[in-house]
Amino acid sequence: MKAIFILIGLGIAALIALGIAFIAFGVYVVATRLGMATVEPYAAGFWAGLWQGLIVLLSFFTSWFDKSITIYQTGNVGFWYNFGYIFGLCIALGGSGKAASKK
């Protein structure tokens, strides 16, 4: 009886580990395929900043494993990229939401 519980526990742990591996692979694919390029022929503007602000967590975790991924693109147009990036961060990380509306 005890051996069955051990096998069930090991099976559940293996499924969880496999699920985490699939999620990590998916994050890597999204960040490398849809994330920010390190070299682009044009300077990043508002829309690129917004997108990169939205996927900042994916880019951050993926940058641990791939050094060519960054969380902020240095080749940008300045104010409008920064505005889009901060706006995307607020959306992705939940800034100015419930905490701002509490009395």
* Residues 76-86, mean pLDDT to the nearest whole number: 87
Structure confidence by residue, pLDDT tens digits, 21-66 = 777 777 666 666 655 555 555 777 888 888 888 888 888 887 787 7
* Residues 8-14, mean pLDDT to the nearest whole number: 87
Residue that wins the pLDDT comparison between 91 and 66 = 91
The strand ranges marked E within 24-87 are none
Percent of the chain with pLDDT over 70: 75
Q: Quote the distance between the C-alpha of residue 101 and its chain's center.
A: 27
Q: Is 73 left (phi over 0), alpha (psi -120 to 50) or beta?
A: beta
Which residue type sits at 26? G
